[in-house]
Amino acid sequence: MPINITMPALSPTMEEGNLAKWLVKEGDKIKSGDVIAEIETDKATMEVEAVDEGTVAKIVVPAGTEGVKVNALIAVLAADGEDVAAAASGAGASAAPAAKEAPKAEAAPAAVPAPASVSAPAAAPAPVASAPAANDGHRTFASPLARRLAKEAGIDVTAVSGTGPHGRVVKKDIEAAVSGGTAKAASAAAPAAQPAAAAAPAAPKGMSDDAVLKLFEQGSYELVPHDGMRKTIAKRLQESKQTIPHFYVSVDCELDALLALRTQLNDSAPKSKDGVPAYKLSVNDMVIKALALALRDVPDANVSWTDSAMVKHKHADVGVAVSIPGGLITPIIRSAEQKTLSTISNEMKDYGKRAKERKLKPEEYQGGTTAVSNMGMMGVKNFAAVVNPPHATILAVGAGEQRVIVKKGEMVIANVMTVTLSTDHRAVDGALGAELLAAFKGYIENPMGMLV
């Protein structure tokens, strides 16, 4: 009996993904555990392993297909001893729903699952819009997202050649048409279409529609559709600022003792035969450890808010914001209060490398109890970060710099950095936030306490 291979759910919140690449082809024999495909979500590219053994009889969803729904049929496997051709021919009826499934135009899965009591219900799948008839009498099939982008750009979707399943017009086809100018304008396709000016974005304040349209026609700017990551970031941060009462507490921390200890620890790191040190600590590694220990010492601040109860975490799982092309992702150092500085450092180097390659697993960036956002290496003196639910706190770290300070009535020069703690005031109020920052400052200015 043929075995259906369906689109896997790579995280609890995943609703759809892009089938980036097939690593097998029709006719290949596979066994359980073999990597057969790569799936792209809004945050990462994941490998899919086979569960069953057999021969790939038919690949239903081709590589490069976007917006494939979870549990949609993507391939058919012929079991051992089964006729491959028969298994492939029997896949046709099952393939239709997967091929016609419409990708969602607006919603994207959340990067971090919210507590069950406050999470929103999953949106219903978007219905497939009926396609208008093309001028030659044939129907043009296009995804809802492709139709919306075509409308915004003033392109007649029936004039675009589709590269999706069964000739379906998808997002990249519209983007290619916009950049190449190969499609007919929508206004030319039908007398009832809106004037060309409607294709241009709304005029910014102080500019007329005619002025914006003129710039649009001259190619003075381009429209770059949002990808899944950017949509997720926008959705979650808007939700955070609208639903979480933010409160901010700042403090200056002297770094001289920490910098001296860091140099001493790095100089004493064991080296391999090739002379490569076993670790190389950064200031950020020590910030992660200091925040984790501060949360251990002030457990009332290591919490998450829900409508029914306060969630008190038993460990400090510290997320660290990592900038990647198109946005950012927050891999998590689990139980950071229990780990050595060298372990934290090596984990962060691994996470940072795989984050830029979009190879992180969902469990490596979902959840956590707090986060660190460090813009000091970019020369930023101080800033306030946005709380990322379900966290109740996030620490914004500025650049360490030499400043004149007063000690025992005398002016001296010291290396100082400013940090700002953003809190969800429902869970961590001002006094508790100040207590947490005081504990953090204590570990930064007396770093030997991080080695005990």
Cα end-to-end distance, the chain, whole Å: 61
249 and 367 assigned to the same domain: yes
440 and 327 assigned to the same domain: yes
The sign of the CA dihedral 436, 439, 444, 448 is negative
Max Cα separation, the chain? Answer: 89
What pTM was estimated for this model as a whole? 0.62
Q: Which domain holds residue 162?
A: 144-217
361 and 275 assigned to the same domain: yes
Among residues 199, 217, 235, which one ends one of the domains? 217
209 and 255 assigned to the same domain: no
Tokens of 368: 């956590």
In angstroms, rounded to a whole number, what is the distance separating the alpha carbons of residues 292 and 337?
A: 5
CA distances from 405 to 254, 401, 415 (A): 10, 12, 10
16 and 68 assigned to the same domain: yes
Instruction: Say if CB 365 and CB 334 are below 8 A apart.
Output: no
For the chain, how many structural domains are there in total?
3
Among residues 100, 130, 164, which one ends one of the domains? 100
430 and 356 assigned to the same domain: yes
Residue 425 appears among annotated catalytic residues: yes
Proportion of the chain in helix, strand, coil states, percent, rounded to 5 = 35, 25, 45
**One-letter amino acid of 414:** A
182 and 257 assigned to the same domain: no
Q: What is the pLDDT along the chain (452 residues), one digit of tens a residue?
A: 788 899 888 776 778 888 988 999 998 999 888 889 988 876 777 888 888 888 998 999 999 888 899 889 999 988 888 888 888 886 544 443 443 343 443 333 334 333 333 333 333 333 333 333 344 444 566 766 777 778 778 888 788 888 865 577 877 888 888 877 555 444 444 344 344 334 445 555 556 656 656 666 666 777 788 877 888 889 889 999 999 999 999 999 999 999 999 999 999 999 999 999 999 999 999 999 999 999 999 999 999 999 999 999 999 999 999 998 888 899 999 999 999 999 999 999 999 999 988 889 888 999 999 999 999 999 999 999 999 999 999 999 999 999 999 999 999 999 999 999 999 999 999 999 999 999 999 999 999 999 98
Does a structural domain hold residue 226? Answer: no
Among residues 100, 129, 159, which one ends one of the domains? 100
Ramachandran class of 206: left when φ > 0, alpha when ψ lies in -120 to 50, beta otherwise:
left
213 and 255 assigned to the same domain: no
Tokens of 333: 């150092």
Does a structural domain hold residue 128? Answer: no
Residue with tokens 């259906």: 4
163 and 250 assigned to the same domain: no
CATH number of the domain bearing residue 57: 2.40.50.100
Q: Which of 138, 226, 315, 425 is catalytic?
A: 425
DSSP one-letter string for 321-363: -EEETTEEE--EETTGGGS-HHHHHHHHHHHHHHHHTT---HH
209 and 297 assigned to the same domain: no
CA-based nearest residue to 236, from 109, 355, 123: 109
Instruction: Say if CB 206 and CB 152 are below 8 A apart.
Output: no
208 and 253 assigned to the same domain: no
